[in-house]
Chain A
Amino acid sequence: MEIRKEQVEHVAKLARLEVSEDEKTTFARQLSGILTHIDQLKELDTAGVEPTATVLPTDNVFRDDEVRPSLSQEQALANAPDQADGFFRVPKILEDR
């Protein structure tokens, strides 16, 4: 399967990634290679095989509904580029109004 430059741009935009023109060409080639390999795998008959969501040989790992100590407000905000009154401060979100 062939991945075009525009598809790389689309995926990059969705992931908020900045990619150079050179990278677009490189990624298009590499992604095409990966998908071609997947196409090859598709030739196998997998009828009756349950789709694999994980390779871990386990399921149903739970925790009980118990409250554990949280971080302090100061710790929670420690990595924030900007903060005010105990909140993360971000550029005005215009879409909501």
Chain B
Amino acid sequence: MAYEVVIGLEVHAQLLTASKMFCGCGTAFGAAPNTQTCPVCLGMPGVLPVINRKAVEFAVRTGLALHCTIAPMNRFARKHYFYPDLPKNYQVSQYELPICEHGWLEIGQNGTSKRVRIRRAHLEEDAGKNLHAGIAGASHVDLNRAGTPLLEIVTEPDMGSPDEAVAYLKTLRDILVSQKVCDGNMEEGSFRCEPNLSLRPAGSKELGTKVELKNINSFKFVKAAMEYEIKRQTKVLDEGGKVVQETRLWDTEKGETAVMRSKEEAHDYRYFPDPDLVPLRITEEMIAEARKSLQELPEAKHKRFVSEFGLTEQTAAVLTANPVVADYFVASVTAVCTSGASKTDVSRDIANWITVDLPGLAKDFWTHIPAGEIGELSALKRKGEISGPIVKAVLEERLKTGKSVAEIIKAKGLVQVSDEGALEKIIDEVMAKNPQQVAQYKSGKEAVFGFFVGQVMKASGGKANPAKVNELLKRKLTQ
């Protein structure tokens, strides 16, 4: 039988706050186990949680970016369950009144676009981490993550294929990253997705029984897990069986899903309002503030980078993929433009350094070289004081020694050679060494001109001013 796939997605996005949702413990990833905890997040009796203002601001900002309505009245609820990574035996979450509701985002695929509806997004705290691998007869628990703020974003069952679901996840991640509310790192667990997937006979209006998938930490695996699940459910239905509502874990090694827990004692989380937390009212002023803090959305930024800076679609896409890099680019261009250059004049060079040269030299180059110095390099190149090929060497030296760009150019003698006498000398030498090519050029084979430019640049150690070289070579070769 032909089936239609119906997919909804739950995403847990870790909010980029410095401290936890209800206490002052840090949220840095990778700290030694159980070194970022306190009586509040350890669930000691008698403590009082206090809401992190920034987490609320981030949730409202995200809600606005996702076209949600923001609930004026919020309260936190306790969701009760027992698990070793949950020290309080309840998770503080939102139940009936999520902070964001009824939003949407647009996914583009093969030139068409589709709107995926967001049912709700609510604030909650994360649990700790359980470790099992390589531990005989026990599991280990690290509570550093317990209490980290999360925004759980839930869609309507609007996606009809794994590809659509992945497109949604990528779009959502780009939006969260652009808003600077989440780092989007799937491997470190700051962007976790749980698809729920069901099948129904093609054309049917009723939804089939859904299965929830967990334990997925990359876009590749999320697609593989959904594809596996479609095959599995198709087989069950084709054989006349019934799909059981359950949670299944993706096993990367086996490439299949397996049942996680049966829900014999039907999910009964006994939600009730957390008496330790007073109501949270989102005022008009708070929403207005959040609106001001909204960052440009990825698609708009991409378009602007093409039109404003004269970049190719491809380069604009690379630059805007990471807002930190995009800001760095803009700051670099702005730095050189204050000295009179036009944006489109310098953008291509700078984009090239930022997308090609610098990432090859250092992964987090923006933390090592201030954008102003990139602007400085661009200005020097415009003035003809250094040549293009030298820039990479300067950047390399800059990262290695930490000396300023100006110092490096001076100390290493990298200043561009524009002096006609010096260049003529090099050209004469190159011509003397290559009489055959000289003869070829003179007999009308002009293609050999490029060979001379290359030789002269090489002989000058990349320092020759290319424009001057062209001019002088032409004159010399036609003499």
Contact = CB atoms under 8 A, between A and B. Distances in A.
Q: Give the size range of B's interface with the partner.
A: 35 or more
B139 A93 contact: yes
Interface stretch (A30-38, A41-49, A56-64): A56-64
25 contacts: A14-B265, A15-B80, A16-B82, A53-B273, A61-B50, A62-B51, A64-B53, A65-B19, A67-B18, A67-B19, A67-B26, A68-B25, A69-B24, A73-B32, A76-B42, A76-B143, A86-B34, A87-B140, A88-B140, A88-B143, A89-B141, A93-B84, A93-B130, A93-B132, A96-B260
A10 B264 CA distance: 12
Interface of B: 17-19, 23-26, 32-39, 42, 50-56, 75, 80, 82-84, 130-132, 135, 137-143, 249, 260-261, 265, 268, 270, 273, 275, 278-281
Contacts of B280: 59-60
Contacts of A73: 32-35
A96 B84 CA distance: 12
Interface residues of A, number: 40
Interface of A: 10, 13-16, 53-54, 56, 58-73, 76-77, 82, 84-93, 95-97
Q: Looking at chain B's contact residues, is the secondary structure mostly helix, strand, loop, or mixed?
A: loop
A70 B37 contact: yes
A69 B26 CA distance: 8
A90 B275 CA distance: 30
Nearest to B258: A97
A62 B56 contact: yes
A87 to B, nearest CB: 4
Residue among A53, A54, A62, A63 having the largest count of chain B Cβ atoms under 10 Å:
A53
Nearest to A61: B278
Given A62-B50, A73-B35, A93-B130, 10 more contacts: A53-B75, A54-B273, A54-B278, A67-B25, A68-B19, A68-B25, A76-B143, A87-B131, A88-B141, A92-B138
Contact of B268 (A14, A54, A93): A14
B138 A84 contact: yes
Contacts of A69: 24
A21 to B, nearest CB: 21
A60 B279 CA distance: 6
Given A54-B279, A59-B278, A67 B24 contact: yes
A66 B54 CA distance: 10
